[in-house]
Chains A and B, each alone.
Chain A
């Protein structure tokens, strides 16, 4: 509005406008007071809401163009915003959607992001294998990668064959694994926002630590014990870490190669895909936490654990490779 829009405001014009329209505004405000209840209103009320909202839009534009008081315009503005939010509300999350997500959408998303997945797997597995070999071949490598105190502890805790432990301890460890592992996976993903660098770090770091510890325990002569422990939850846990890392790498890729979008717009466009991957990884880690706390340390004979571990690995492989295919 430039200075050309000089106009005169007859006394009481705004007051007349408010007096004529206020009842409708108040009615809309009342419908909005509990914005969650809007979708539960009877049909007639819903239809009325739509009419009231459209009328309000017109009122707001009229108040604005007629240069009515900033107070009134501000208030209509806020009411319009609230009505708009209620009308164009977000969809609710349902349990059915979650199951469908895990069984179909998640494996599909994973296959679409197979390049990121391959990179993440390489960034995790290559350092893992290198650390295993280096620990076995070079003296002092393990101590440089992992604190000697931790190595000593790990060798100690796998010295005895697995023979089960108190249920309380298992419950406690479940909590620990949920808190720790899922937290690590989330950070591994989130730090991908630093152009993928954080995810690269977490993948390599986890590969090195795991490779070093397993090889060190094996050197101490307890290799069978630690591998029997890992084989149950490994398929879920290690895969999930790689998937979380892949999601982070994919986010970094979206930032680095945004195409004809802005960098953040490029991440936004990939947002649903990323959340699918991270949610799937989190679900896998929850399963892994339960297995790791209750099944892995139990006194069940090693051959059974190996068989079950192989079945889990096969199951995970089939699920991720075939889930959601027609």
Chain B
């Protein structure tokens, strides 16, 4: 049996039987997106108030217009944008988030209405306390409305294919000659090396060496007892040798 790692990824299977991964949006990103949406709505109400509120003092009609606007913004804002922009409100757009169905399809009208009406429950008793609790307990960070409507908030992937991991400084011929021409590495090992090299530079040198030391001795032994100076450098060279030549 395949063991599913605990990760912030939702795997979706398309009708073509190809599986692709959606990265889940965490509470911080969702909170920030909500804040943007909240500010936009407050701004719209204030703007309307400035536009129609002045010069008509004493007449109740402008108040009525404002109340209808407030109603539409409170209950209709998310549904409207999620329908128009396929699962993205302006706030979600800013942070690259999107609402999708659990099976990865775009959300429909019913899903959107349900998840957004149920905000009223997630909000209870104040400031989305219940929703925060529910999403903390859910492995996919779904608030109650998401769970009832069967929706996920995911991050839209914008990675580029031409970003390649560069080995700095470039490997010298002597360094590469010391390695076997075709290092025997499994796909998983290569991916682990790549993930590691991607983080080099964002970690402290000591931590980099500590991580590299976990795997470097085993790989060196497999290559016929190679010796190396820096474990981190050794991994970078190995990766380069395996992918570039």
List residues of chain A with CB under 8 Å of any chain B CB.
1-3, 5-12, 14, 18, 22, 25, 35-36, 53-54, 57-58, 60-61, 66-67, 69-72, 74-78, 80-82, 84-85, 88-91, 93, 166-169, 171-176, 178-180, 182-183, 186-187, 189-191, 193-194, 198, 251, 264-265, 267-268, 271-272, 274-275, 278-279
Contact = CB atoms under 8 A, between A and B. Distances in A.
Contacts of B156: 78, 82
Contact of B70 (A66, A75, A179, A272): A179
B211 to A, nearest CB: 17
Contacts of B119: 190
Contacts of A265: 150
B188 to A, nearest CB: 6
Given A172-B61, A190-B118, A89 B70 contact: no
A9 B244 CA distance: 9
B194 A69 contact: yes
B158 interface: yes
B235 to A, nearest CB: 15
Contacts of B83: 90, 93
Contact of B64 (A91, A173, A193): A173
Contacts of B18: 57-58, 60-61, 80
Given A8-B182, A36-B86, 11 more contacts: A3-B186, A7-B187, A53-B16, A75-B160, A85-B105, A88-B105, A88-B106, A90-B105, A167-B61, A186-B120, A275-B110
A274 B114 contact: yes
Contact of A191 (B120, B157, B164): B120
A70 B245 CA distance: 18
B202 to A, nearest CB: 16
Interface stretch (B25-33, B36-44, B141-149, B223-231): B141-149
A5 B191 CA distance: 13
A258 B242 CA distance: 54
B120 A78 contact: no
A155 B104 CA distance: 56
B161 interface: yes
A70 B163 CA distance: 10
A182 B60 contact: no
Contacts of B120: 186-187, 190-191
Contacts of A58: 18
Contacts of A67: 186-188, 190-191
A78 B242 contact: no
B21 interface: yes
Nearest to B79: A93
Contact of B157 (A6, A78, A190, A193): A78
B243 A278 contact: no
A75 B191 CA distance: 15
B136 interface: no
Contacts of B124: 191
A221 to B, nearest CB: 28
Interface residues of B, number: 70
Given A35-B86, A268-B148, A271-B111, A186 B117 contact: yes
Given A6-B186, A175-B67, A69 B243 contact: yes
B55 to A, nearest CB: 13
B109 interface: yes
B167 interface: no
27 contacts: A2-B186, A6-B185, A8-B182, A11-B245, A22-B161, A53-B16, A57-B16, A69-B164, A80-B14, A88-B106, A90-B109, A172-B61, A173-B64, A175-B64, A175-B68, A176-B63, A182-B71, A186-B120, A189-B117, A190-B117, A190-B120, A190-B121, A191-B120, A193-B148, A251-B148, A264-B147, A264-B148
A70 B121 contact: no
Contacts of A81: 12, 20, 22, 104, 157
Contacts of B150: 264-265, 268, 271
B59 A198 contact: no
A57 to B, nearest CB: 4
Interface in B213-242: 242
A5 B60 contact: no
A90 B147 contact: no
Most buried by B among A60, A61, A175: A175
Contact of A75 (B22, B161, B194): B161
A286 B39 CA distance: 27
Nearest to A267: B148
